[in-house]
Chains A and B, each alone.
Chain A
Amino acid sequence: MIQWRITVFLLSLLPLAAMIWGAFHGNLGANPVEALSHESGSWALRFLLVTLAITPLRRLTGWRRLGLLRRMLGLFSFFYACLHFLVWLWLDQEFAWGSMLADIAMRPYVTVGFLSFLILTILALTSNMFSMRRLGLRWKGLHRLVYAAALLAILHFIWLVKVDLMQPLIYLGIFVLLMLLRLPRNVVMRKPRRIVKKQVVT
C-alpha cells in the first residue's frame, strides 16, 4: 500500500508541476493569472470529486484499502484550493483588502467559493487522528460538510460562467451520480430485501 500512496501522492503533484512550468516558460497564454486561477480551481474541484468517489468505488470493487487514499486526496483538494485562493488574493486582487471583502460580500460566485474554501479549511484542520479522537462521534457529522463544500464549489463554477454551462454541469452530473451511488444500501435496496425476508418467514 505504501507504494500506492507514494504513487498517488506524486501523481497529485503533477498539476502543480504543470502550473509552475507554464508560469516560468510563459506557456500560460495572454492572461497567465486567469490560467492559474482556472487550473488551480479546476483541480481543487476535481480532487474533491475524486475524494467523494472513493467510498462508492470501494463498495463497487470491494477493495477496502482504497479508503486509505481518501484523506490524502481530500487534502490535495484543499491544497489546490489554497493555491486558487492565493492566486486570487495575491495575483488577482493584489492584497486590496477592501475590494476583496466587497467581492466576497457582493459577488455571489465569490461568496459561495469562499464558503466552500472555509469548509475545506475546517475539514483539513480536523483531518488528523488527534481531532478524530477529540471530536469522537461529532467528527463524522462535521466531515459530512464535504458534500456542501463540493456543491458550493460547483455553484461557484455555475455562477462564474458567462454563457457556456457545459463544464460546470458535467461536474454537477458527476456529483449527483456520486450521491446516487451512496443511496442504494439505505433506500433503494432495503425494501426488496425486507420483502424477501418476510416471505421467507411466513
Chain B
Amino acid sequence: MGLYRYGRIKPSEITDRQVWLKRRQLIKAGMAAGAGLLLGGMNGQAVAALAGPGKNRKISLAGESTYGSDLVPTEYEHITTYNNFYELGYGKEAPAENAAALKTRPWSIKVSGECARPGVMDIEDILKLDQEERIYRFRCVEAWAMVVPWAGFPLGAFLKRFQPTSKAKYVEFETLYDPQHLPGQKRTVLDWPYREGLRIDEAIHPLAFMATGLYGEVLPGQNGAPLRLVVPWKYGFKNIKSIVSIRFVEKQPVNSWQATAANEYGFYANVNPDVPHPRWSQKRHRVLGKGVFGSKEDTLLFNGYAQEVAGLYSGMDLRKYF
C-alpha cells in the first residue's frame, strides 16, 4: 500500500469529490446539490457519476481539467462490463470475467526506436507523474459509444521525455503477450501481440492521452490496466490496452486490425460518419446504458473533436486514408 502515492494521500479524495460535485451541478443545472446527492443515493447512475465504486485504488489528480465537463459520463458498471479486449476473451462480458488473468505487477514499459534516450519505465514511476482527469467521448467501430472519465496524462509530454529524433515519424504500441495467462491469446484470432500505431503529430496532439485510471480509480483489467492509449477522435480499436512497448519508427506501422482485414480497418481509423465500414454504416451509434428506446445519436466527424484535430488531416482524402 505504501508503495503507491495515490494510496496514501487522503485529502485528494476530497478534491476528487468536489470536482465531481461541481460537474454534476453543471450537468443537472437547477438541481440543488443536496437533492442531487439524495437522488444519487437512490439511483446507481448518479452515485457512480460522483466517484468510482471504490473497488480499486484511487488516483490523486494534480489538477482539474476542463476537458469534457459538459459531457455526462456513462455508468462505471457499463464501462467495465462491455469491453472488446480479446486477450481476455471474445465476448463483451468475457474481459470483465477474466480480468484476474491479467497480472499488472510487476509491469514496465519499454520505450525504444528512433529516440535519443530510450529506456524502460516502471509503472510505479509512471503513476508518480502528474495525473489529470479528462472526460472523453469513446466511439467503437461497432457503432456503439460511451463517455469515459479517464485519469492519466497527455501522451505528447510523456513521449518527449525520451527525445524522439527526426526519424521518428510514427509511434508503435504493443500490448502484453502472455498466452499462458491471457485466455484469449491461446487461439490465433488475431496476430498477437496486439499492435497499434499513430503518426507522430497525432501522438503529440494535446488530445492524445495515456490513461491509468477511470472514475478516479486505477483501471480494472478489462479496461486495459495498467496503462492504455486514448485517442478520442479515432475508433476504439486504436486505443490499445495494457501497453508494454512503445517504439518510435520511421515507417508507418501495421496495426493488428489492419493486418487482419485491410479492407475493413485502416491505419487512421478516424471516426467518420461518411466513410462506411462493410458491416456498420457509421452514420449513427448507440450510447451504452441508455436503455432500449432512443439511445441512438448521430455520429460526428472525428467523434466531435473536428475543431481540435481536423488540421492534422487537411488535404487528405479521408475515404482513401480511412
Residues of A within 8 A of B (CB): 23, 26, 29-34, 36, 91, 94, 99, 102-103, 107, 109, 160, 162-164
B65 within 8 A of A: no
Q: For the complex, count residues of B whose C-beta is within 8 A of A.
A: 27
- The residue of chain A having its C-beta at the shortest distance from the C-beta of B142 within the complex is A162
Question: Complex Cα distance A109/B288, Å?
Answer: 24
Mind listing 6 A-B residue pairs with CB under 8 Å? A29-B78, A29-B81, A29-B92, A30-B81, A107-B278, A107-B279
Say how far B206's CB is from chain A's closest CB, in angstroms. Answer: 29
* Chain A residues whose C-beta falls within 8 Å of the C-beta of B289 in the assembled complex: 30
Say how far A34's CB is from chain B's closest CB, in angstroms. Answer: 8
B residues 285-322 near A (Cβ < 8 Å) are 286, 288-289, 291-293, 295-296
Question: Complex Cα distance A137/B303, Å?
Answer: 58
Residues of B within 8 A of A (CB): 74, 77-78, 81-82, 86, 90, 92-93, 142, 144, 146, 189-190, 260, 278-279, 281, 283, 286, 288-289, 291-293, 295-296
* Chain A residues whose C-beta falls within 8 Å of the C-beta of B86 in the assembled complex: 163
* Chain B residues whose C-beta falls within 8 Å of the C-beta of A32 in the assembled complex: 291-292
Q: Are A29 and B93 within 8 A (Cβ)? A: yes
Q: Are A31 and B288 within 8 A (Cβ)? A: yes
Q: Are A94 and B82 within 8 A (Cβ)? A: no
* Chain A residues whose C-beta falls within 8 Å of the C-beta of B291 in the assembled complex: 26, 32
Say how far A100's CB is from chain B's closest CB, in angstroms. Answer: 10
Q: Are B281 and A31 within 8 A (Cβ)? A: no
Q: Are B279 and A23 within 8 A (Cβ)? A: no
* Chain B residues whose C-beta falls within 8 Å of the C-beta of A109 in the assembled complex: 279
If A30-B81, A163-B190 touch, whether A91 touches B90 (CB-CB below 8 Å) is no
Say how far A25's CB is from chain B's closest CB, in angstroms. Answer: 12
Question: Complex Cα distance A170/B265, Å?
Answer: 27
Q: Are A102 and B292 within 8 A (Cβ)? A: no
* Chain B residues whose C-beta falls within 8 Å of the C-beta of A160 in the assembled complex: 279
* Chain A residues whose C-beta falls within 8 Å of the C-beta of B93 in the assembled complex: 29
Q: Are A33 and B283 within 8 A (Cβ)? A: no
* Chain A residues whose C-beta falls within 8 Å of the C-beta of B144 in the assembled complex: 31, 34
Q: Are B81 and A164 within 8 A (Cβ)? A: no
Question: Complex Cα distance A89/B150, Å?
Answer: 35
Taking A30-B81, A30-B288, A31-B288 as known contacts, 8 extra A-B pairs with beta carbons closer than 8 A to each other, sorted by chain A number, are A29-B78, A29-B92, A31-B82, A33-B286, A34-B144, A34-B286, A102-B281, A107-B278
Q: Are A36 and B292 within 8 A (Cβ)? A: yes
- The residue of chain A having its C-beta at the shortest distance from the C-beta of B82 within the complex is A30
Q: Are A29 and B82 within 8 A (Cβ)? A: yes
Q: Are B190 and A94 within 8 A (Cβ)? A: no
Question: Complex Cα distance A60/B309, Å?
Answer: 66
* Chain B residues whose C-beta falls within 8 Å of the C-beta of A34 in the assembled complex: 144, 286
Say how far A166's CB is from chain B's closest CB, in angstroms. Answer: 8
